[in-house]
Amino acid sequence: MSGNNDLRFIVNPGGVLTGRLRVPGDKSISHRSIMLGSLAEGVTEVSGFLEGEDSLATLSAFRAMGVQIEGPDAGRVQIRGVGLRGLKAPVDDLYLGNSGTSMRLMSGLLAGQAFATTLTGDASLSGRPMKRVVEPLTSMGAAIDTTATGTAPLRVQGGSRLSGIHYAMPVASAQVKSSLLLAGLYASGKTCVSEPAPTRDHTERMLTGMGYSLQREDNRVCLEGGGALRGIAIDIPADISSAAFFLVGASVAPGSELLLEHVGMNPTRTGIIDILQRMGADITVLNARDVGGEPVADLRVKSTQLHGIDIPPELVPLAIDEFPVIFVAAACAQGRTVLTGAEELRVKESDRIQVMADGLRTLGVDARPTADGMVIEGGAIGAGCVDSHGDHRIAMAFSMAALRADGDIEITDCANVNTSFPGFVEQAGRMGLAIRTR
């Protein structure tokens, strides 16, 4: 976590977003490039690495376990892999800041090591549920201790003999799936994970790219333990979760037109585009191509009047990180938008359903939270001061709301924006958002 918990955004009303922009690299892929590059044999060369606090926490953790990592330098990182059995016991606990991805994936990866490790995080991460990953790992033979409430710190005991399992996830979660697959690298026999709905598949794509055999059929992915990974070159695309703020901002601010370059278009991540287009957004996909096993494209977005929709449940897991800014789009739309089936939002960096509803209502929007979603009546957005609760995506979402507000919007507790989008204020300002910090 950044040390300045009092950082505030002040965003003046109005503004037009225009120009060309490449947002920072994909956070999910950045994490995995460090983890799998460290476990590979040989050198992994990474470009486009996200130099945000979450990704840097993962990088620091693997340095602490003896991996030689050069960079990051302008998004370039070189990882000298140590192989699946080459990690060394860290001297101290591994502090992962605000990164739930780091903690959940590393719990699986570390479950098969010969040494013990303790994973810690900031106050927000220490309140997030970990039983969902610890329980299936325990059934594989892992020994992991949590607090009495199932939260961090996680104490991963060394020397466990892991056995493959066939696990049907009760809730769609790429983090749980990836954690079990990483543990499966060290397990005897086959590890299979079935998911109730599609989730991001960056782990599977990168494992395949590094030469590890996977079997995929319908909603299930399997691997056998005991293989090896080889170092490769990884070009990380721009993060669609970060691009989402500008997709919404340019859609709702009259006269706007943006070209977002080199955006990751993994089909397990493009729910934001599908939802916005259903709301009437003018988004055009240009120059679609494949980069290192991941689909990439440029996105042109022009302003238009959005309309409310009932968000299809099958799109929820494909846009789970983008709902804070989707709620802002709904507030600017004509008519009612209804979200259901998104209870996962309540256990993110904040309770994103309640925090967004509270903030929208502060700004005069009719937003009614439900157990698993929200009902939003589009209309005017007023001025006000909203609390982001230290959640980076909440802070950036409300920044875009100012494009349609009738007065200044002040957003508190914004330091954690650096976990996923370093330079957000500067880049947004260059595109036309009247934003400053205090």
Q: 6 pLDDT band (50/70/90 cuts)?
A: confident
| Average pLDDT score over the chain | 96
Q: Which of 122, 298, 321, 387 is catalytic?
A: 321
Confidence band for 2, pLDDT divided at 50, 70 and 90: very low
In the predicted structure, residue 80 carries a pLDDT above the cut 50: yes
Cα 428 to Cα 15, 190, 285, 360, 432, distances in angstroms: 11, 47, 21, 21, 6
The three-state DSSP-derived secondary structure of 42-103 is EEEEEECCCCCHHHHHHHHHHHHCCCEEEEEECCEEEEEEECCCCCCCCCCCEECCCCHHHH
Residue range 365-390: mean pLDDT, rounded: 97
Length of the chain: 438
Catalytic-residue membership of 282: no
What's the pLDDT at 1?
Answer: 36
- What's the pLDDT band for 58 if we cut at 50, 70, 90? very high
- For residue range 117-138, list pLDDT tens digits in order: 999 999 999 999 999 999 999 9
Band (293; pLDDT cuts 50, 70, 90): confident
Higher-confidence residue: 349 or 387? 387
Q: Where does the pLDDT of residue 3 fall: very low under 50, low under 70, confident under 90, or very high at 90 and above?
A: very low
Complete domains list, the chain, with CATH: 9-25+238-437 (3.65.10.10), 27-235 (3.65.10.10)
| Contact between 336 and 287 (Cβ < 8 Å) | no
